[in-house]
Structure 1
Amino acid sequence: MAQFPVTPAAAAATGHRASPSPRSSTSLPRRTTVLTSIGAAAGSPSWRGAVAVTRAASGSDKAAVARTIINPNDVPVLSFSELGCFEWQLCTQTGYALHYTVKNFFELEYTIKAQVIYFNKSITLPLKVAERLETFQASGTRNQNYMAMYSSIFGGITTDPSAMVIPIDDHMVHRGHGVFDTAAIMDGHLYELEQHLDRFLRSALMAKISLPFDRSTIRSILIQTVSASTCTQGSLRYWLSVGPGDFQLSSSGCTNPALYAVVIESPFLQVPAGCKVVTSSIPIKSPQFAVMKSVNYLPNALTKVEGEENGAFTGIWLDDEGFVAEGSNMNVAFVTAGKELLLPSFDKILSGCTAKRVLTLAEQLVADGRLSRIISRNVGVHEGKAADEMMLIGSGILVKPVVQWDDKIIGSGQEGPIAQALYDLILEDMRSGPPSVRIRVSY
């Protein structure tokens, strides 16, 4: 058992009395405890730096360790309901000494020593948090299937959605001081993880977030999380935060930056059906924040909601000069009457990894004559609405044709051939592209 004792010397120094030596409970099965510091940030307190992985006597597949793919350090897969039996002692401010034995995570046995009076009693905490989280998960409130989560707070991976939580005092939660990125999972391969990870780390640098690990360790953790999830079709989302610490505005009290990752199963690809968009009335983020993939997505969310409220798929932002910028969380592209593939420049908007890959793949359409050239420059609203084709490009939608912008029908009002060709190219690239964009996951 892992113990956190209050030594007699320490108790004497504070004027408190230490409790008697802990006694193991005969009613609890013995468990094997493995301590590991993998995935715990350097300099973390011992309760963060060491994670106890327990297995019941009968065994549990949830306690199995994820297989290593990149480096020799495994990230443990933890079970929320099998944290095991551990003991600690606590001296109260009144001089009483308490000894707790935790059973099943929320049931306690305790002994109180107060002068000559001894109490032995078994209690159950009034709020069984784990059970209520499991009830919430089973209620069907969530409409996506979360397969696995990694957290540097507990230094491991859980496949129990009820345990996929982060501290409320994490500054990413209450101050928005965090960044994120994503990567698609296709046929057991991670698509463009390297490209997304590079952008992820650039965003962290711009947001003044220190890294809890180096790049190769973060990469390994992300791949191992997908491996533990057994998900072969879906997406991997991951976040870097200045971490928990307090509810202040400054992050100076946050000593341990945090890394989180979640695997979401999406077994079906979206059909590239034509959609309507509207010009957004929500102010666009300034370039300093638009080029950074931070968690401050309230303007993006409101732009998406505004589009849906007007019977559209999303809203389209214009920049401070009135040029076409981007969608709520996707890039915009056009096909001109001269068969040019035209994208707004990335100077003031997020540099989309999928959009940049589409530009590379589109060279094949230039080679076979379906496109005359590929260009990135400022695009006016009138020019955009007069295009033969318009499309949205992003990792969540790949390539989605736009057939109407506000009251203006785009081209023939039908999905265009270039949008379909680009969708086919990016989909084929995800399924059989080169190793530079596809990483095989071992399950």
Structure 2
Amino acid sequence: MAEKILDEIQGVEDVKVDVFPSSSELLEKLHEKWNTVKAKPYPAMYSSSFGGIILDPAMMVIPIDDHMVHRGHGVFDTAIIFNACLYELDEHLERFLRSASKARITSPFPKSILRSILIQLTAASNCKKGTVRYWLSAGPGDFLLSPAGCPKSAFYAVVIEDDFHQCKEGVKVITSTIPMKSPLFATMKNVNYLPNVLAKMEAEDKGAESSIWVDEEGYIAEGPNVNVAFITHEKELVLPAFDKILSGCTALRLLELAPELVKQGRLKSVKVENVKADEAEGSAEMMYVGSILPLLPIVMWDEKPIGDGKVGELTMALSDLLWEDMIAGPEAKRIEIPYV
């Protein structure tokens, strides 16, 4: 046994670790990775630590002593870039700042400046379709638990090119066995996403797209990064109440748009209420609702079909409403980007 341990130690001693005595040598090493990438997925980043927009992907980094990195003390949000416009940016920023308040993080900038930074960042990226993701952190300072040693909070944002499209194929989901977050953390869009990651991985292990959380009382909660919605056999659109889960901006927009189908006589009603899992499993149609989907039909749950096991007509009608809103909805929902 002692000989085996000695062999392992000697093996480690044989590993040569590079030392970069200058920033220029380090930068050259960082560029080696990106020089082999034809299409760079991150065309632009903003960092309040640098005080500006970064176009070199090798420099899109954050300090290791940032409390968002080693303590998870940060919040985030995402806005869609579609048809050269930012969709529902103001709604996402409002939620972003509510999350920051719950996490006791004070933004280094007022909302108007954050908004301006994100618009300028998108313009500098020249990205016409994708997402802009942004974070507020307690900031860099030290490796302690308390953020008291952090001089100032930090704001980061990155543009990600993504060719998303309307989802017309149904997917399979499972009920997650990973414990869901408490209401405080579930209603705050924070960077502590390990439960979400494990719930997604659990679904993938079982050949499913994603999962559904059910609370201890048997009520439907949400998916790992999406809301869920159901259509009953009485043609009622039902979304679970938002008191213990994140109030999705897209889900809220769906609730505003769906009454159009009620006017047309295609839906009977639209409502938000607590939904028992056994009732939800008996729905006629089911869907995920989230920003980059914006709506994904669900046709099977825990190996049992939802309705007839096919993508529902009303699901696609609701999807059409959201896509039409993204393409040609009210100007208040779409900010045109002043690309140079």
TM-score, with normalisation over the residues of structure 1?
0.70
Q: Is the 8 A contact 2:166 2:323 kept in 1?
A: no
Q: Distance in 1 between matches of 2:85 and 2:24?
A: 41
Write out aligned runs for 1:259-270 (5 A): 259-270=155-166
- For the residue of structure 2 that corresponds to 1:308, the secondary structure is helix
- For the residue of structure 1 that corresponds to 2:33, the secondary structure is helix
Q: Cα distance, 1:272 vs. partner?
A: 2.8
Q: Distance in 2 between matches of 1:137 and 1:272?
A: 34
Q: Distance in 2 between matches of 1:289 and 1:144?
A: 33
Q: Cα distance, 1:138 vs. partner?
A: 3.5
Q: Distance in 1 between matches of 2:278 and 2:40?
A: 39
CA deviation profile, 1:20-54 (whole Å, cap 9, x unmatched): xxxxxxxxxxxxxxxxxxxxxxxxxxxxxxxxxxx
Where does residue 120 of structure 2 map in the other structure?
224
Q: Distance in 1 between matches of 2:251 and 2:63?
A: 34
Residue number among 30, 33, 45 corresponding to 1:136 in the alignment: 33
- For structure 2, list consecutive stretches of 5 or more residues without a partner in the other structure: 1-19
Q: Is the 8 A contact 2:99 2:189 kept in 1?
A: yes
What percent identity do the matched residue pairs reach?
Answer: 56
Deviates more, 1:198-207 or 1:428-437: 428-437
Where does residue 180 of structure 2 map in the other structure?
284
- For the residue of structure 1 that corresponds to 2:335, the secondary structure is strand
Write out aligned runs for 1:231-380 (5 A): 231-380=127-276
Q: Distance in 1 between matches of 2:142 and 2:45?
A: 24
CA deviation profile, 1:194-249 (whole Å, cap 9, x unmatched): 00000000000000001101111111011100010011111110000010000101
Where does residue 92 of structure 2 map in the other structure?
196
Q: Is the 8 A contact 1:144 1:264 kept in 2?
A: no
Where does residue 413 of structure 1 map in the other structure?
309
- The residue identity in structure 2 corresponding to 1:336 is T
Where does residue 328 of structure 2 map in the other structure?
432
- The residue identity in structure 2 corresponding to 1:132 is K
Where does residue 4 of structure 2 map in the other structure?
none
Q: Cα distance, 1:382 vs. partner?
A: 1.1
Write out aligned runs for 1:111-126 (5 A): 125=22
Q: Distance in 2 between matches of 1:221 and 1:127?
A: 29
Which structure has the bigger radius of gyration?
1
- The residue identity in structure 1 corresponding to 2:309 is G
Q: Is the 8 A contact 2:85 2:337 kept in 1?
A: yes
Q: Distance in 2 between matches of 1:138 and 1:315?
A: 37
Deviates more, 1:319-328 or 1:289-298: 319-328
Q: Distance in 1 between matches of 2:106 and 2:23?
A: 39
Where does residue 15 of structure 1 map in the other structure?
none
1:177 aligns with 2:70: no
Q: Cα distance, 1:137 vs. partner?
A: 2.4
Where does residue 294 of structure 2 map in the other structure?
398
Q: Is the 8 A contact 2:164 2:292 kept in 1?
A: no
Q: Distance in 1 between matches of 2:215 and 2:331?
A: 36
Q: 1:143 to 1:358 in 2, by over 3 A?
A: farther
Q: Is the 8 A contact 1:366 1:372 kept in 2?
A: yes
Q: Is the 8 A contact 2:231 2:286 kept in 1?
A: yes
Q: Give the paired residue count.
A: 320
- For the residue of structure 2 that corresponds to 1:327, the secondary structure is coil
- The residue identity in structure 2 corresponding to 1:125 is S
By percentage of residues, which structure has more strand? Answer: 1
Write out aligned runs for 1:52-131 (5 A): 125=22, 128-131=25-28
Q: Is the 8 A contact 2:167 2:297 kept in 1?
A: no
- The residue identity in structure 2 corresponding to 1:136 is K
Q: Cα distance, 1:126 vs. partner?
A: 8.9
- For the residue of structure 2 that corresponds to 1:248, the secondary structure is coil
CA deviation profile, 1:347-392 (whole Å, cap 9, x unmatched): 0000000001011110110000110000111111111110000000
- The residue identity in structure 1 corresponding to 2:47 is S
By percentage of residues, which structure has more helix? Answer: 2
Q: 1:270 to 1:128 in 2, by over 3 A?
A: farther
Q: Cα distance, 1:407 vs. partner?
A: 2.1
- For the residue of structure 1 that corresponds to 2:65, the secondary structure is coil
- The residue identity in structure 2 corresponding to 1:394 is G
Q: Distance in 2 between matches of 1:130 and 1:179?
A: 29
- For the residue of structure 2 that corresponds to 1:145, the secondary structure is coil
Q: Distance in 1 between matches of 2:152 and 2:63?
A: 12
- For structure 1, list consecutive stretches of 5 or more residues without a partner in the other structure: 1-122
Q: 1:411 to 1:317 in 2, by over 3 A?
A: same
- For the residue of structure 2 that corresponds to 1:375, the secondary structure is strand
Q: Distance in 2 between matches of 1:411 and 1:271?
A: 18
Q: Is the 8 A contact 2:164 2:293 kept in 1?
A: no
Q: Distance in 1 between matches of 2:23 and 2:335?
A: 47
